[in-house]
Amino acid sequence: MPIQTNDFKPTGLAGCRWNRRTRTAYFDVRGPKGRQRTIRAFESVEEAKAAFPHFRAEVKADDDSVTVGPHGRQTGAKDETRVTLAEYVEAQWDSLHARCCATTIKTNGFSYRNHVKPFFGPKALAAITEADCEDFAAGMKGNGKAPCTTNLALRFLRKVLHHARRRKLRPDVPESFHFAKEDLLKLEMSDSEQIAFFAAFDDQEGFQRYLRETQGGGKIVRSSHFGFKARSFGGGLRPHSDAATIYFQRYHDSRLIFTAAIDIGFRETDLRLLKRTAVDLKKGLVTIITKKTAKRATVALSDRCKAAIVKAMSHDVANSEYVFVTEDGKPFSESTLRRYFAIAKRLAGITRRCRVNDLRHTFASNLASEGLSLLDIRDALGHTTVRMSERYAKPNEHSLERMREALNRRATVPYSIDIDESLSPTVCP
């Protein structure tokens, strides 16, 4: 991450600034080879001020032990064992993310600030071991962090170590180096969950029950305008009101975009901002350039998805360039889409962790279960490599049943197994 000098306050020494929140010092000295900058962790501002004259003397004397140069350049073998991970990341942030999109940079920034830096920041980059990484992952798991959060932090740490390897600072890191990932939770919906999920959009009685359960008490007011009797104002929609009926209709109509989410598999933003020009109803195709990877993704439309898109584009809003819009002709906002998704999950009885973007996992899992190759799934998802698609392609109940049928067909050896009925079901289910 680029050095933010505004975060550091003057200490009274020219070129030495202090960040009380992060307990780090920012040294900035001009020497014979140009301006030298670094960020170092200290226990106190007094310790930082005591170390600054030595740093300044090294720079002025053109000593090769200076840690980080004006562009994050490493200047000597002696320094390589002293530069901390925080110093390296702060100086090399732009280089680390030279080929990353804004979303990835934002995600890495969150992982670095909240997880990687507090644990590894003061540690020398050359001293980070695989055991340290295992302790880091175990600590995050012990603190209740989700597997995805842990994996994102490990991925960023691996990125930093590989970056240092290519610059000869960590030659011991192998090219194929990676950490053992945390097991991810089940993300894709099962066939039964998909049936219950879409049925929830027609459940008006369940929707009214949801409003009743989430309705607050409202604000109690006493006024002379109504004889000082207690009156309740606010608290949410009444289940049988006209406003609740309109709310249910909007929720019901959102089923179209969720149908597309499972049958197209686009990311949430790509789906919300899907334009009519991307849809070819004659050929039954939809093609976009994904916003995250800038890769082309082409998906063949299923019959039900094609019907959902046709119905969505028959919206009476004039001059709308988007496929899925609200009653005012604007694309669904993230908050609206996620609120409708949460309601449908609740009515369908899905209590496990499942997000809107997990419908993308369901799409890929459905394709894998029907025997499509990873190459086809990669192109449909807009991934850059097949490896990225592997985590999405998981077998579901349908594919497991096909596996059982295939094994039964191949079991041609002519013998049978007698089962003792007296065996306990816990031994032989």
Query: Within 13 Å, how many C-alpha atoms sit on residue 345's CB side?
Result: 17
Share the mean pLDDT of the chain. 79
Q: What angle do CA 25, 29, 31 make, to 5 degrees?
A: 150
Residue 172 has pLDDT above 80, yes or no: no
Residue scoring higher pLDDT (68 or 185) = 185
Residue 342 has pLDDT above 70, yes or no: yes
| Model confidence pLDDT, tens digit, residues 242-255 | 989 999 999 999 99
Q: What's the whole-number mean pLDDT along residues 15-28?
A: 84
Round to whole Å and give the CA distance between 351 and 348.
Answer: 9
| Residue-number span of the structural domain to which 161 is assigned | 89-166
Domain assignment of residue 421, yes or no: no
Is residue 258 very low, low, confident or very high in pLDDT (cuts 50, 70, 90)?
Answer: very high
Q: What's the whole-number mean pLDDT along residues 396-424?
A: 61
User: How large a percentage of the chain has pLDDT more than 90?
Assistant: 21
Identity (one letter) of the amino acid at 239? Answer: P
262, 394: one domain = yes
Q: Is the dihedral of CA 275, 280, 284, 290 positive or negative?
A: negative
Place of tokens 């686009």: 266
3-state secondary structure (DSSP) of residue 261: helix
284, 140: one domain = no
Report yes or no: 344 and 258 within 8 Å, Cβ to Cβ: yes
Domain assignment of residue 288, yes or no: yes
Q: What per-residue confidence (pLDDT) applies to 73?
A: 41
Please name which of 234, 371, 402, 264 lies closest in space to residue 324, comparing C-alpha atoms: 264
Domain assignment of residue 29, yes or no: yes
Q: What per-residue confidence (pLDDT) applies to 423?
A: 47
Contacts of 126 (CB under 8 A, 6+ apart): 80, 81, 83, 169, 170
Is residue 142 very low, low, confident or very high in pLDDT (cuts 50, 70, 90)?
Answer: confident
Please name which of 312, 210, 206, 316 lies closest in space to residue 255, comparing C-alpha atoms: 312
381, 263: one domain = yes
Q: What per-residue confidence (pLDDT) applies to 279?
A: 93
Number of domains in the chain: 3
93, 71: one domain = no
| Model confidence pLDDT, tens digit, residues 351-363 | 888 888 888 888 8
Residue scoring higher pLDDT (400 or 188) = 188
User: How large a percentage of the chain has pLDDT more than 70?
Assistant: 79
Q: What per-residue confidence (pLDDT) applies to 74?
A: 41
The H or E element that residue 406 is part of is helix 397-410
From 19-23, 114-118, 176-180, 186-190, the region with the lowest mean pLDDT: 176-180
Beta-sheet pairing, 24-31 with 34-41: antiparallel
Packing angle, helices 147-166 and 102-111, rounded to 10: 100
127, 250: one domain = no
283, 347: one domain = yes
The H or E element that residue 94 is part of is helix 85-96
| Model confidence pLDDT, tens digit, residues 43-67 | 888 888 888 888 888 877 764 444 4
Contacts of 393 (CB under 8 A, 6+ apart): 364, 365, 367, 368, 374, 377
CA distances for 68 relative to 64, 76, 80, angstroms: 10, 10, 10
Place of tokens 């190459």: 375
Domain assignment of residue 415, yes or no: no
Q: Which residues of 88-99 are buried (b: 16+ CB within 10 A; e: fewer)?
A: bbbbbbeebbee
| Model confidence pLDDT, tens digit, residues 282-321 | 999 999 998 887 888 888 998 999 999 999 988 766 567 8
Please name which of 3, 11, 122 lies closest in space to residue 56, comparing C-alpha atoms: 11
311, 385: one domain = yes
Domain assignment of residue 416, yes or no: no
DSSP string, 174-210: -TT--PPPPPPPP-SPPHHHHHHHHHGGG-HHHHHHH
Domain assignment of residue 354, yes or no: yes
Q: What per-residue confidence (pLDDT) applies to 329?
A: 84
CA distances for 396 relative to 95, 189, 370, angstroms: 41, 9, 10
Residue scoring higher pLDDT (154 or 187) = 154
Q: What per-residue confidence (pLDDT) applies to 248?
A: 94
39, 122: one domain = no
139, 21: one domain = no
Report yes or no: 115 and 149 within 8 Å, Cβ to Cβ: yes
Highest-confidence range of 35-44, 261-270, 386-395, by mean pLDDT?
A: 261-270
Residue scoring higher pLDDT (86 or 422) = 86
Spell out the alpha helix ranges (H) of 97-167: 102-111, 117-120, 130-142, 147-166
Q: Could you say which of 82, 100, 128 is where a domain stops?
A: 82
**Phi/psi-derived region of residue 48, left when phi > 0, alpha when psi is between -120 and 50, beta in every other case:** alpha
Domain assignment of residue 173, yes or no: no
**Phi/psi-derived region of residue 71, left when phi > 0, alpha when psi is between -120 and 50, beta in every other case:** alpha
19, 138: one domain = no
Residue scoring higher pLDDT (275 or 41) = 275
From 18-32, 279-293, 405-419, the region with the lowest mean pLDDT: 405-419
Which domain CATH number covers 370? 1.10.443.10
246, 364: one domain = yes
Q: What per-residue confidence (pLDDT) applies to 294?
A: 83
Domain assignment of residue 352, yes or no: yes
Residue scoring higher pLDDT (137 or 217) = 137
3-state secondary structure (DSSP) of residue 318: coil
Q: What per-residue confidence (pLDDT) applies to 206?
A: 93
**How many C-beta atoms lie closer than 10 Å to residue 35's C-beta?**
13
Q: What per-residue confidence (pLDDT) applies to 349?
A: 93
Q: What angle do CA 219, 223, 227 make, to 5 degrees?
A: 125
Q: What's the whole-number mean pLDDT along residues 6-29?
A: 83
Please name which of 113, 20, 26 lies closest in space to residue 67, comparing C-alpha atoms: 26
Q: What per-residue confidence (pLDDT) applies to 77?
A: 40
| Model confidence pLDDT, tens digit, residues 96-126 | 888 887 778 888 999 999 999 989 888 888 8
Contacts of 374 (CB under 8 A, 6+ apart): 368, 386, 389, 390, 393
35, 111: one domain = no
